[in-house]
Amino acid sequence: MSIEKELRERSGNACELCGAKDNLTVYQVPPVEEDNADKAVMACATCAEQIENPEKMDANHWRCLNDSMWSETPAVQVIAWRMLTRLRAEGWPQDLLDMLYLDDETLEWAKATGEDQEEGDKIKHVDSNGAELEAGDTVVLTKDLNVKGANFTAKRGTAVRNISLVHDNAEQIEGRVSGQHIVILTKFVKKQK
C-alpha cells in the first residue's frame, strides 16, 4: 500500500491538522530518515505551506489544533506541538501547550526539528548579570514593570517560575505573573539559583 493511500485511509481523506478536504498532500515530518506513513501526516496545502514558511503564518488558522492536538497519531502530535510552540507569543497557544501531553519519545521527536544548528548559531537568553537562562528556570524581576494590556505592575522582586524562552528573540522570555501570561525582557530579570 502506498504511503498516500495509507494516510488517506487513516485521515478519512481530510487534513489531519485542520480537517480541510481539498488540496491534500503527504507531509513528511522532519527529521526524515526514510519515507514512512508513521512519520507523515495528510496535510492541506495551507497547513503545509505555513509549516514550511513561518513568515506566511496565519495564527487564527491554527486554532484547529485545539481539536487535532488530541490525535492518537504521533506525527500529528509532533506538528501540533511545534506549531503551538512557534505561535505561543499569541497567548492562546500556551494554554493548549500546557494541556498537551506527549510521551517522552514523541516529545524528543517534536524537539528534533531536523535543522542541525551549530552551537554558535543557537540563540542564547541571558539575564541582567549575563547568566544563561533555560526553559523551566525561575527568575526574579529587577525592576517594576508596567504590563501593557493587563493594567497592573509586576513588582520588583517578584519570582517568575517555570519560564519559557522566545525561540526567535534572545531578549525575551515568557512567564506567568499574577496569573497573567506575559513576555518579559531578559535585561529586567535575574536568574534565581
Q: Tell me phi and psi for residue 153, to 5 degrees.
A: -110, 125
- Give the containing element (helix H, strand E) for 10: helix 3-11
With vertex at residue 102, the alpha carbon angle to CA 41 and CA 171, rounded to the nearest 5 degrees, is: 95
Q: Would you mind telling me the total number of residues written for the chain in this entry?
A: 193
DSSP state of 135: T
How far, rounded to the nearest angstrom, does the alpha carbon of residue 22 sit from its chain's CA centroid? 26
Measured between alpha carbons, how far is 68 from 126 in angstroms, rounded to an integer?
35
Per-residue model confidence (pLDDT) at position 122? 62
pLDDT (tens digit per residue) in 113-144? 754 433 444 678 999 998 999 889 999 999 99
Per-residue model confidence (pLDDT) at position 123? 78
Calculate mean pLDDT across residues 34-44: 90
Average pLDDT in the chain: 88
Residue 191, pLDDT above cutoff 50: yes
Per-residue model confidence (pLDDT) at position 117? 39
- Give the containing element (helix H, strand E) for 132: strand 132-133
Calculate mean pLDDT across residues 167-172: 84
Kindly report the pTM of this predicted structure: 0.60
Domains and CATH numbers, the chain: 3-111 (no CATH), 120-191 (2.30.30.40)
Calculate mean pLDDT across residues 137-155: 89
Residue with cell 506567568: 176
Cell of 93: 497557544
Query: For strand 132-133 and strand 139-141, is the pairing parallel, antiparallel, or unpaired?
Result: unpaired
DSSP state of 13: S
